[in-house]
Structure 1
Amino acid sequence: MLTAADGALALLYRGTLSSCNYACDYCPFAKKQDSRAVLARDAREVGRFTEWVAAQDRAISVLFTPWGEALVRRHYRTAMHILATLPNVRQVALQTNLSGPLSWLADMDEASRAKIGLWCTYHPDQTTLARFVERCARLDAVGVRYSVGVVALREHYDAIRALRAALPSHIYLWLNAYDRRGPGYYAADDLAWLDAIDPWFAQSRRPAPSRGKGCLAGEAALSVDGDGTLTRCHFVPEVLGNLYQHELADLLQERSCPRFKCDCYIGYAQRKDLPFQRVFGEGVLARILPMARSAR
C-alpha cells in the first residue's frame, strides 16, 4: 500500500466547532458563536478521538481542520499536547489564525514539540502585522514549525509585501486565491509577483483537473468528523465507514478522484500526480516546506 510522505496514516479531523473570533467578510463562519452545549459536545468528540489515536499501534499523523478557530479552545490545545506525546503519532498539525494562547507550547518537552505543525493564516483586517509577526517569533523561539499564508485579495497586496519582508526567509508564505474572483481579477503583472512569492499559487487559482487522478485520500489519508464518520477527504461526501466501528484495514484502498477539480490544498496535497508529498515531505499536512527549499 502506498503511504503518505512520512509513512503514517493521515487523519484530517473536523469536528463540531464552527465558531470564530475573527470577522473576515469572505468567510461564512466569521464571528459565529457556538453555544456552550455545542462546545461541550465538541470537547467530548475531540477527547474521544484523542483516546482512539492513543489506543492504536500504527503510525498516525493528525491535521485538525476546524471550520472555526480552535486554538482559542482549551480542549484543542490539550488534545494537541497529548497527541504529540504519543509514540505512534508522527505529526500533529492544526489550521489557526494564531490568535490563541501559545504558552502551552513552551510547556511541552522538546521531542513532543517537534511534532507540532501550525498552518497559520494572517488576516490583515483582523490583526496588526506587528502582533502577528511577534506571535510567529514566539513560535520560532520555542522551535515550533509553522507556515504562514494569506488570502490573496487585491486589498491585501501591501500586507503580503510587508509580511514577506517581516518573516524569516525560511518560512514558507503560501497564498490562497480569492475564491469569489471573476475573470481578470488578477492582472498579469500581479500574477508574476504573486507567483514569485508562492511558487504553488498557480495550483490554487487554476487547479489541475482532478477527475480520474490517483489520490492518497482514502488510501493513506482519511477525513473524520466529530462522531467518527469517515470519508476519503473533506470534498467527497461518500461515507466509507466509522472510525469507532470499523476496521481501517477494510476501508483503506486506492481510489481515484471523482471531482472535476480540487482547489483546496487540503485535498490536492494528496494527489499522486502532483509534487506536494515529495516537495513538502514530513511537513505536508501543515504546508511547511523543508528549510532548504523555502524561498523568499
Structure 2
Amino acid sequence: MLCMISHLPSLWNLLSRDLHQVGMWNYECKCGASHSSNYSRIDNCWSLPSESCPCCEPLVPLSKRLNNWEDYYEWRCLPLYSPVSLLLHWPLTLYHVFQLTRSMPISEVHDKVHIHYLGPERELLQLSVFAELQTLFPGLEVNIELIGPAIPQFRDGEKIDLCSYCNCFGEGCSCKFESENASQVVLNGKPLGVTLKLHKGFYHDLYGDIVKDSFPHFIFAANAGVAVYSSWLPTIELIKEMDVPAVFTDYCEEAANLAASCISTVTGRPLTIPIQLNPFRQPMVVEDSALILPCYSNCFLFGM
C-alpha cells in the first residue's frame, strides 16, 4: 500500500485524509508553498487519530534494525494506509544514515550523538517530527545542529528541545499526559531526547564556532543539489579535511550521479558510500520537479 501512495498526487492524498492545508501537512503540496514563509510556527500535532500516528512511546523498544517502511510501520503498530511516512522520511533517513556510518571509522558513541544537518528548508516547517528520533536512538541524547541560508535571521541561534512526541487529535489519548510529563522533565533539568539548534549561513563559514560545542559523529544534507549550487564546493573541501562521514541525498539518480562526480572532483577519491536507494525516502512523487524523471524527496543517498 505504501507503494501505491507514491503514485498519487499529493493534493488528492491530503484532501482524502482531511489533511489539506492543515498544520505540518500544509507544506506537502504546491498550494501550501505560499504559506511556507511562516518559519516561526512549530506545529506539534499529527492531525490524525491515535491509531494512525506514532503519538506515544512504542509498545516495545526498538530491538532490531529497521530496513524499510514496512518494518517501521509494523514496529510502531501503524496501518499501512497511514500517511505519516510523508513527514517521517526526515528522521527515518537520519536513522538509516546513522546505521550506514556506524560501520565506518567514526568517534565512539556513548550517551550522545551529534549530527550536523546542512541546508534545511522545508524541514524548518516540520521540526516536530524529529521527536521520533527519541525512540529511534534509544538510550542516546540526539543533538542536531541545523545550518543553512534558508534559516530566517530571527531564528538564528534558536534552540528547540523536543521532549515529547507529536500529538494525535484524540482528546483522551495518553499522548496529552505524556506531553505534560515531558515538560516536567525539562523543569527538573533531566536530559532531553532531541535538541535542535538553528544556525543561519553556510557550514564552511560557521563550522569553527559550532564545533566548539558539537563535533559531529556524521554530517547530513537532505536533497542537497550539490551539482547545482557552487556554495557546496568550500563545504566539501572542509568536510574532506574534517574526515567525518558525510551523507547527501537527492531527488533522483541522475542528480545523485552529478553530485558524486562533483564530490570526487573536489576530494580526488571515490565515494565512501556509493549511490543507493534510500529505503526511507518519502513515498510520494514530487509534483513540480523540473526533471522529466520520477523524483522523490530523499530518494537516493551517497556519502564521502
TM, length-normalised to structure 1: 0.36
Question: Is the strand fraction higher in 1 or 2?
Answer: 1
Could you tell me the TM-score, scaled by structure 2's length? 0.36
